[in-house]
Amino acid sequence: MATTFEDAWSVARDVDGWLLESQGRALFEAAQRVPQGTVAVEIGSHRGKSAVLIAMGLPEGVRLTAVDPFDDPRWGGGPESLDMFRANLEKAGVLDRVDLFRGLSEEASAQWTGLPVGFLWVDGAHDIESTLKDFDGWMPHLSKGAELYVHDAFSAVGTTRAILKRFWFSPTVQYTGCARTLVKFRVQPLTLSQRISSFFGITSRLPFFLRMVAIKVSRRRGLHGLERRFMTVDNEPLI
Ligand SMILES: C[S@@+](CC[C@H](N)C(=O)[O-])C[C@H]1O[C@@H](n2cnc3c(N)ncnc32)[C@H](O)[C@@H]1O
């Protein structure tokens, strides 16, 4: 019987991480569409929450490469996070579908000799320099029509600046939607009307970004009442 999102989420929801269920569903469904003859690549694996969802969604025979140095203290990195990553993939029954590159995204992209990348999930460091390296390093390895998903978009300032810098009026990267802070793109040559519609799609996320900045500033200043006002949309947490 085919794996469903509910099967995958029943494992992934207990893994420590920062994904909303709607974002987990978006990853699982994107993984189901990864074409044969290509691979999925994940930048930033932590303890395997997103890797479990992607690997469980992939069609038979399609593999995931997970890239993470597992040593970044900002996310509690260290040998234990690598052990937990492996244990969570094993629990999900997908350890044998995942190749691990233990190192930085820029090292992995520079050395890449694998199949074209049909799905790229960017969830590593969220500063502008790292995110630009993620985009620029992997872009030459993407297959035509590849899907590119980015986490903490229009939330982290660095990630947002990198998206605006590279994709705002790009001739090849089309905004296709979002699940809160997860933003979706497709990479293929665009017509002028696709470029214009992508430009407005990205622009439409800017009010959300201002709201996220307001939350962060309120939090830093100890203005918790204000922070709570910005924090929910339709009674759901914003992030
Ligand atoms: C936000 S966490 C990833 C969360 C993970 N995707 C999940 O679903 O739980 C960020 C991860 O990116 C890793 N990281 C930071 N900089 C990186 C880089 N340049 N290349 C690859 N991984 C990086 C960190 O070690 C950390 O584990």
Q: How confident is the model at residue 167 (pLDDT cuts 50, 70, 90)?
A: very high
This prediction has a pTM of: 0.94
Kindly give the distance from the C-alpha atom of residue 190 to the centroid of ligand 1, in angstroms, as a whole number. 30
Kindly give the distance from the C-alpha atom of residue 165 to the centroid of ligand 1, in angstroms, as a whole number. 22
Q: What percent of the chain stands above pLDDT 90?
A: 82
pLDDT in tens, 191-221: 999 999 999 999 999 999 998 888 888 888 8
**Res 218: pLDDT:** 83
Residues with Cβ within 6 A of ligand 1? 17-19, 43-47, 49-50, 67-69, 72, 75, 77, 104-105, 123-125, 130
The DSSP symbol for 77 reads -
Q: Is 140 helix (H, G, I), strand (E, B) or coil?
A: helix
The upper half-sphere exposure of residue 160, i.e. CA atoms within 13 Å in the direction of its Cβ, equals 17
Query: What integer is the mean pLDDT of 36-50?
Result: 97
Q: How confident is the model at residue 234 (pLDDT cuts 50, 70, 90)?
A: very low
Q: How far apart are CA 197 and CA 89, in angstroms?
A: 38
Kindly give the distance from the C-alpha atom of residue 48 to the centroid of ligand 1, in angstroms, as a whole number. 10
Give the distance, in angstroms, between the CA of residue 73 and the centroid of all CA atoms in the same chain: 20
Query: What integer is the mean pLDDT of 5-25?
Result: 96
